[in-house]
């Protein structure tokens, strides 16, 4: 039998619980999942998944607005377009104080 080493890890308990639920559905013990991860790191000489910054939570993107509020705001914008209530991009830049020499 292969010798084993012991790892003692500190992890966020919520993350651990969520991972345990997924692994249970897959029929994979936590120790096996950690072993699989370490084997992949060893084999590939890299982290075995893409690392990226996640997208901001939905409530931040929409500034806490409900889907109905967002639809209303978008509809108001479309109504303005239909009525011809438009201003040029140059005017928008002036209104928000963007300098002419910036690359926008």
Q: Judging by beta carbons within 10 Å of its beta carbon (0-12, 13-18, 19+), is residue 93 exposed, middle or buried?
A: middle
Provide the pLDDT for residue 91: 83
d(CA 95, CA 15): 46
Domain ranges, ordered by start, for the chain: 13-44, 58-96
Provide the pLDDT for residue 102: 55
DSSP 39-75: HHHHHHTS-SS---PPPPPHHHHTTT--HHHHHHHHH
pLDDT tens per residue across span 41-95: 999 999 999 888 777 676 666 777 888 888 898 899 899 999 998 888 888 878 7
Q: Is the pTM of this model over 0.75?
A: no
Provide the pLDDT for residue 6: 92
Model confidence at 37, pLDDT cuts 50, 70, 90, reads very high
């Amino acid at each position: 039998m292969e010798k084993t080493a012991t790892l003692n890890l500190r992890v966020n308990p919520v993350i651990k619980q969520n991972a345990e639920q997924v692994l249970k559905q897959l029929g994979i013990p936590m120790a096996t999942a950690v072993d699989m991860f370490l084997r992949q790191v060893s084999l590939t000489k890299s982290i075995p998944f893409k690392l990226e910054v996640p997208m901001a939570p939905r409530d931040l993107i929409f500034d806490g607005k409900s889907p109905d509020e967002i639809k209303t705001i978008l509809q108001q914008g479309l109504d303005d377009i239909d009525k011809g209530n438009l201003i040029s991009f140059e005017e928008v830049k002036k209104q928000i104080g963007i300098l002419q020499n910036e690359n926008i």
